Amino acid sequence: MVARVIPVDPFDLVVFGATGDLALRKIMPALCCRFADGQMPTDARVIGAARGEMTTGAYRAEVAQALDAVLTGPDTPSAQTRRDFLDRLDYITLDARGEEGWPALRDTLRPDPVRSFYFAVAPSLFGALAERLDRWSLITPQTRIVAEKPFGHDQASARALNAALAQHFTEAQIYRIDHYLGKETVQNLMAVRFANILFEPLWNARFIDHVQITVAETVGVGGRGDYYAQTGAMRDMVQNHLMQLLCLIAMEPPHRFDPDAMRDEKLKVIRALDPLAPGDIVRGQYSGGRDTPSFADETGEAGENTESYVALRAGIANWRWKGTPFYLRTGKRLSRRVSEIAVTFRDPPHSIFGEGAPWRENVLVIRLQPDEGMDLRVMIKEPGPGGMRLKDVALDMSFAEALGDDLHIPDAYERLIMDVIRGNQTLFMRSDEVEAAWAWVDPVIAGFGRLEDAPVAYAPGSDGPDQATELLRRDGRQWREIR
């Protein structure tokens, strides 16, 4: 199935932090793929800006290398297409806190097209960049900025960042990225919930026993040890990615699929979350393996009390969800790379097949990665004679199988960057949403110094610490295997 591509309006996109990991590994490959698909109009331009002295030629060579490293699959852009994309790239040496480079940037930008500035830099530079964009009169009505996570490290810093940006931009010009919202299956979750009647009558505490949200990674923190020591999984993954998934599962149907209607409903979920008690959360740190360093090796003393794994039990205090726990877990160096949401339904009120009949609950699994798809476990009769024997089977739909072999599932950044150019904020976070998410995690993180919730060790390649298993066992439940 070939995707329908609608070219966006002509644009100038400036990427601050152009030589950083995010720009090279995510933003440039995403743009190259959109270019290859014909979504970037012929007169679109991309301008990399960073502090390093470099010619445009040298920058193009660096991006070319990054494209070769990232775009390796069979359906990736051809060598000629990559060269054509690179021809659109410019580079400007620019000091975010000084004056160098700003006149050159001003002279490069065209007055009319959509003008986007991507802040692929540390949040400590957001304020300075915003201020200089204004001072150099680079902000037009067609201007948007893209702010990468982490958006602050607590509610107070997020609020300060929002205030600093609000001095120069309207909320409608600010695109706060959480790349999980750009994942194809996450958007599909909204289609499944709100384009079908099937699930909605059952989508509440009366029929749903519990929900598990898992984002498991096999990688460790690697070269990001310093960042991770200060951040931990709670700030890096839970406050944003996992909470966004929880919101999409738990929100009320918005009256329209439009930015504010969506974000109003997500915000209500965050505000209805019960405060987390210390016993509702387990933190872990991976130990060293035969060939892999431990979390402690990678983060040093600064990471002593920081977690690479979190499991927690969240409750939502509203009519729809009171009594249905949401279990969230995420960690690095686990057995598999799996992101999924599993919705477990309650048992039927009475079994007509007798007490001894084998029984499995209905579970709807939404797989984000790998092998995007959905799987609904239902009970059926085992075929053939021999009485009424029940068995649970999976109604399994892999999107790749269902929608055709040539289905290309775009990277989240491809979708999100094009949404910025189109001016569609539906999949971006609003200021109040980010602040509310911090408000929920802040008190928990503030309590992390206590001995009883110090991170516990787990073996690399495992499914996490035993204490996380216990968190569910005490509720009479168990985690799904990470597979």
Positions in the binding site for ligand BG6 (CB under 6 A): 149, 217, 236, 339
* Residues whose CB is less than 8 angstroms from the CB of residue 102 and which lie 6 or more positions away in sequence, other chains included: 94, 132, 136
Sign of the torsion angle spanned by Cα atoms 58, 60, 63, 67: negative
Tokens coding 105: 């940037």
Residue 456 DSSP SS3:
strand
Closer residue to ligand BG6, CB minimum distance, 236 or 435? 236
In the complex, residue closest to ligand BG6 by CB: 236
The region that residue 333 occupies, defined by phi over 0 for left and psi between -120 and 50 for alpha, beta otherwise, is left
Closer residue to ligand BG6, CB minimum distance, 324 or 339? 339
Would you tell me how many other CB atoms lie within 10 Å of the CB of residue 334?
27
Rounded CA separation 284/457 (Å): 6
| Cβ 92 to ligand BG6 shortest distance, Å | 27
Rounded CA separation 11/117 (Å): 11
Closer residue to ligand BG6, CB minimum distance, 216 or 343? 216
Question: Quick one: which of 21, 37, 3, 19 has its CA closest to 70?
Answer: 21
| Cβ 339 to ligand BG6 shortest distance, Å | 6
| Cβ 337 to ligand BG6 shortest distance, Å | 8
| Cβ 464 to ligand BG6 shortest distance, Å | 16
Angle at CA of residue 354, ends 350 and 358, nearest 5°? 95
Set 179, 210, 241, 350: catalytic member: 241
Closer residue to ligand BG6, CB minimum distance, 60 or 176? 176
Output DSSP code: residue 88.
T
* 408 carries an active-site annotation: no
- Please count the residues of the chain: 483
| Cβ 430 to ligand BG6 shortest distance, Å | 19
Closer residue to ligand BG6, CB minimum distance, 236 or 307? 236
Using an 8 Å Cβ cutoff, are 341 and 225 in contact? no
| Cβ 149 to ligand BG6 shortest distance, Å | 6
Rounded CA separation 445/449 (Å): 8
Closer residue to ligand BG6, CB minimum distance, 132 or 241? 241
Residue 374 DSSP SS3:
strand
Burial class (CB in 10 A: 0-12, 13-18, 19+), 300: exposed
| Cβ 415 to ligand BG6 shortest distance, Å | 13
φ, ψ for residue 326 (rounded to 5)? -110, 115
Closer residue to ligand BG6, CB minimum distance, 132 or 149? 149
Sign of the torsion angle spanned by Cα atoms 190, 191, 193, 194: positive
Active site (catalytic) residues: 241
